[in-house]
Amino acid sequence: PVVSTTTMAPPVDERPLSQGQGATRAARGRIASDGNPTFDGDFADPFLLPHEGDFYAYATNTLFMNVPVLAAYSDGSGGMVGDALPELPAWSEPHHVWAPSVSEVGGTYVLHYTTRHTASGRQCISVAVADHPAGPFVDASTEPLVCTLDLGGSIDPSTVADDDGSLWLLWKSDGNCCGIPTMIFAQPLSADGTELAGPAVELLRNDQSWERDVVEAPSMIAVDGEYHLFYSANRWDTEAYAVGHAVCESVAGPCVKDREPWLADTEATSGPGGLEVLEAPSLGTDLVVYHGWTGDLVGYGDGGVRSLYARPIRWVDGEPALVERNAA
């Protein structure tokens, strides 16, 4: 299971991964902790995978790539690696590849991601495999892995291990596409992570005023016997987008939400969301990675970009807290 015993986070280098405005600039291989973007190009719905002291970051499609991947190596080098998923399955269409999540399962790397189901026009979840974190991942499927058309589709996959080591897939029903309530589900996976192994269980739905008509982007971590579920809510292209938090008794729930957002709009970052929580053993801490509209430009129509942020967290009386600048 993904279990953290971290109570204090050590100092983390505060220089940004890149100073460039585009995702083709070389990265410095650093993790920022001061609230500044780790990568200030467009890198939405990020996922960060630690691998033998290195880090691989994946994002929603951009720059003509299905799944752009950045690397930050332990020697301080790094940069844009390329497209982790150069080919989509025949049932899918390009330009709608969202929210990738990568797991290491028995020496194989398993990518769960969202893509457009051509026949229905809805977003659905698929799976691909590779023998290296950077890919190339290969999707040999003939149909989606998860595709709840009656609920508007399925998006935002993220995996978590239960206390018995079994792998579960978290995902969101895309009901806000068509006036249906949105829900976050947990569903068991096969041992290799490529097939479903049981029915989905609802964890939560949009039922608080600040969430409006959307809950999405689930991510979960186990800490001292409790499962902490982070999720995003409200409109993704506004300052109101924010990250919520809930505590669950198990991967399959039940879950109890906090009443207010855990991470919301700040002076430096507007509309933070798409958060993933993870252990980073090489840094001696747990991390959250998320995107936010950087500066005063919010929305692609106004020239904004959703930059990548990575910040350490610590656990205070069983609750997650961002480590502020220069904290130790």
pLDDT tens per residue, range 213-272: 999 999 999 999 999 999 999 999 999 999 999 999 999 999 999 999 999 988 778 999
**What does the pLDDT read at residue 208?**
97
**What does the pLDDT read at residue 294?**
86
Per-residue pLDDT for 29 more than 60? no
User: ω into residue 136 within 30 of 0, thus cis?
Assistant: yes
**What does the pLDDT read at residue 31?**
40
Find, among 99, 91, 97, the residue nearest to 157 by Cα.
99
Per-residue pLDDT for 323 more than 80? yes
**What does the pLDDT read at residue 30?**
40
In angstroms, the Cα distances linking 298 to 218, 272, 307 are 23, 11, 11
The domain of 256 spans 3-296+304-322
The CATH number for 216's domain is 2.115.10.20
pLDDT band, very low/low/confident/very high, at 325 (cuts 50, 70, 90): low
**What does the pLDDT read at residue 43?**
95
Helix, coil or strand: residue 30: coil
**What does the pLDDT read at residue 295?**
80
> Range with the lowest mean pLDDT among 54-63, 114-123, 211-220?
54-63
Higher local confidence (pLDDT), 26 or 128: 128
Tell whether 144 is covered by a domain: yes
Higher local confidence (pLDDT), 97 or 12: 97
pLDDT band, very low/low/confident/very high, at 35 (cuts 50, 70, 90): low
Tell whether 64 is covered by a domain: yes
Across the chain, what does the average pLDDT equal?
88
pLDDT band, very low/low/confident/very high, at 36 (cuts 50, 70, 90): low
Per-residue pLDDT for 12 more than 80? no
Say whether pTM exceeds 0.85: yes
Helix, coil or strand: residue 300: helix
Tell whether 327 is covered by a domain: no
> Range with the lowest mean pLDDT among 28-32, 71-75, 137-141, 216-220?
28-32
For 283, phi and psi rounded to 5 degrees?
-100, -10
Tell whether 75 is covered by a domain: yes
Tell whether 328 is covered by a domain: no
Q: What angle do CA 236, 226, 158 make, to 5 degrees?
A: 40
Q: Which residues lie across from 187 on neighbouring strands? A: 169
Per-residue pLDDT for 6 more than 60? no
Work out how many domains the chain is built from and give that number. Answer: 1
Please tell me the distance from the alpha carbon of residue 317 to that of residue 230, in angstroms, as a whole number.
17
Q: What is the mean pLDDT of residues 100-106?
A: 98
**What does the pLDDT read at residue 327?**
42
Per-residue pLDDT for 17 more than 70? no
Strand ranges for the chain from DSSP E:
3-4, 47-51, 54-58, 68-72, 78-83, 92-105, 108-117, 122-130, 154-161, 167-173, 183-188, 201-205, 215-223, 226-233, 242-248, 255-257, 269-280, 285-294, 306-316, 319-322
Q: What is the mean pLDDT of residues 120-145?
A: 98
Tell whether 317 is covered by a domain: yes
Burial 187-196 (b: 16+ CB within 10 A, else e): bbbeeebbee
